[in-house]
Amino acid sequence: MEKKTLLNTKEVAEFLNINEKMVYALIADKGLPATKVTGKWLFPRQLVEQWLENQTINYPEAAHPLPPYHGLLIICGSNDILLDRTISLFNRLYPEHLAVFGNIGSRGGLKALSRDLCHVASSHLLQEDEDEYNFEFAIQELEGIAPVLVNFCRREQGFLVAKGNPKAISSVSDLGKPGIKIANIQGKQIEGYDQEFRSHLDVGMEVLSGRADAAPAIKPVAGLLGLDFISLRWERYDLLILKERFFEQGVQLFLGILHESQFREIVEKLDGYDMSLCGKIVFPQQSTLNKEE
């Protein structure tokens, strides 16, 4: 039987399980949706149901803020040039899908993942042992739940300096010399410490323009902007995915791209990436497991 779209006073009282006289009080005091036609009150059922829902207190939070995958792939975390280009490749190869990126840093990506606000988090957080990446931070943020970690790449980290290195910067200790201005680094003793940039290319532009003498970044930026580079170490840059979302279509399509020739062609045009682990699930080293035990 089809539901009535308009209820009279008696019917709305029965629907709300209250006395008819209380209906008039709710109209005046609580904004119960009603309209008067030919001297009689009528109540649009849909608006009454919506009004009732709005009166609910202690409303439970949704278990999954992200809806079931319907074509929108959300990636959040630390910025990377190759990741940006891979997202563009994904959108070209799969026009019926859309991948978007939220540049909120590694910790921001893990927080978004823990709140189920994204499908994938990108992170390069170095653990205290200075050997392993991301595992401890992820388990801490996810309150003991271990996500799936898929390596995206290894990146050469260091400092960008102007072409020809006119300030003769050769090590980290040189960055504290008088007259050396640094972009995107913390430390009140260093000129320029208060300027923070989230994009590697934005950081590189500070050096290219002469507004900074040096800046921490990844080597691919140096190649793209024609800057010199002082290498410090290689770091692992991972994609973190909740286990219950790992086999969703968008996630699997994106991970599949990492094994495609079009992706490898993009990599070949960039310097400073090691793809030996790319697309592989990574696990904590045995030393890390023993430490946790």
In SS3 terms, 75-134 reads as EEECCCHHHHHHHHHHHHHCCCCEEEEEECHHHHHHHHHHCCCCCEEEECCECCCCCCEC
Task: Delineate the domains of the chain, giving CATH numbers in brackets.
Answer: 6-54 (1.10.10), 72-154+236-292 (3.40.190.10), 158-232 (3.40.190.120)
Q: What does the pLDDT profile of the chain (293 residues) look like in tens digits? A: 456 778 889 998 998 888 888 888 888 877 888 888 777 888 888 888 878 777 766 555 555 678 888 999 999 999 999 999 999 999 999 999 999 999 999 999 999 999 999 999 999 999 887 789 999 999 999 988 889 999 999 999 999 999 999 988 888 888 778 888 887 654 433 333 334 466 888 888 999 999 999 989 999 999 999 999 999 999 999 999 999 999 999 999 999 999 999 999 999 999 999 999 999 999 886 544 444 44
Output the pTM of the full model: 0.72
